[in-house]
Structure 1
Amino acid sequence: MKRLTIDLANLPDEGKQIEGELPPEIFDLPKDDAQPAGPLSFELHVQRFGSELLFTGSLSAPFEFTCVRTLHPFVQTIEVPSAAISLEIKESGSIDATDAVREEVLIHFPTDPRCDDADEPQQCEIDPRYLAVDKPGEDAVETPPHAEGDDRWSALDALKNTDSDR
């Protein structure tokens, strides 16, 4: 199945259960973003309510993220166990719900993906070379002397002193 389309003419009044997979290409994400690692799986109940088509059920899709701490790639499955998607019916015929299902999965992306939340959790520790607290307190940088006759901050210091005198 390449698209999730519902034929309204063949949809029973009580709705129907649909399940299947959509190809990872439906996500069409930028190369520097997370990438799908497999198809989007769905188990949905579809029912028509007046001018609305309601999808309820579960969605899941695996993605390869980059850990914000270690910068290592990892796979995490985004699961939406109780999805509820409503589409307005504008015309009879068939409705393509692929983009709505896609968006429902994408809004559940982690804000700061970490490899300890992966399907196969990894140790998620920052390399100590990148922590400022682990670096030696003394460095070889000397404080530069003030230029003679060019004390630009003295005007601000004067304002600070007059404000505290009140």
Structure 2
Amino acid sequence: MSKKLIIDLATLPDEGKAVAGELDPTLFDLPQGDARPVGPLEYDLYIQRFSSELLLTGRLSAPFEFTCVRTLHPFVQTVVVEPAAVSLEIADGAEIDASEALREEILINFPSDPRCDDADEPQQCEIDPRYLAVDKPVDDAVETRPRAEGDSRWAALDVLKNTDSDR
């Protein structure tokens, strides 16, 4: 398993070529408490050169451990980008490192609100009813947060509302 996908432009055929492989999960370098990669970034791509551009098309995938936004339980979901299309500008040099572009393509396809019922092995995804305000049983052990009586921050807006109705 390699850490980078280096494309040698000198050996790239005019008609392009297919490449497949895996990149080390340390490539993602995500902060603590964020999603955690649990496997390699797998790629199956066709690489073509168009004058000053390199086009990579095909399939990308990588498994991650997310935390469910409803249940707060961890689960594994594979982020799949198919069809993937990555364009890289060809600068001076005989080689291009496409690793960062593939990493970004996976990251922008993260689920915005990861839920465990979308996992590779779907789980029951229900909020614990003790934390719901509707139909909350009186005898549960969850304390209700105290509410401020007569929030004075809204008083200024109430004054404005009353002056508008006088016109």
Q: Deviations over 1:64-121 (max 9, x none)?
A: 0000000000000000110000100111311000000000011000000000000000
Instruction: Quickly say closer, same or farther: Cα 1:86–1:142, change in 2 above 3 A.
Output: closer
Task: Determine the C-alpha separation between the residues in 2 that align with 1:5 and 1:103.
Answer: 16
Normalising by structure 2, we get a TM-score of: 0.85
Work out which of the two has the higher radius of gyration on C-alpha atoms and give 1 or 2.
1
Q: Does 1:111 align with 2:112?
A: yes
Q: Deviations over 1:39-86 (max 9, x none)?
A: 010000001110111100000000000000000000000001100001
Q: How does 1:116-155 map to 2 (within 5 A)?
A: 116-135=117-136
1:19 maps to 20
Whichever residue aligns with residue 92 of structure 2, its letter is E
Instruction: Quickly say closer, same or farther: Cα 1:100–1:160, change in 2 above 3 A.
Output: closer
Whichever residue aligns with residue 25 of structure 2, its letter is P
1:88 maps to 89
Q: How does 1:46-85 map to 2 (within 5 A)?
A: 46-85=47-86
Normalising by structure 1, we get a TM-score of: 0.85
Task: Determine the C-alpha separation between the residues in 1 that align with 2:149 and 2:87.
Answer: 64
User: What SS class does the counterpart of residue 134 from structure 2 fall into?
Assistant: helix
Q: CA deviation at 1:163?
A: 3.4
User: What SS class does the counterpart of residue 84 from structure 1 fall into?
Assistant: strand
Whichever residue aligns with residue 52 of structure 2, its letter is S
Gaps of 5+ in 2: 139-143
Q: Does 1:34 align with 2:35?
A: yes
Whichever residue aligns with residue 100 of structure 2, its letter is D
RMSD over equivalenced CA pairs, Å: 2.4
User: What SS class does the counterpart of residue 54 from structure 2 fall into?
Assistant: strand
Instruction: Quickly say closer, same or farther: Cα 1:90–1:129, change in 2 above 3 A.
Output: same
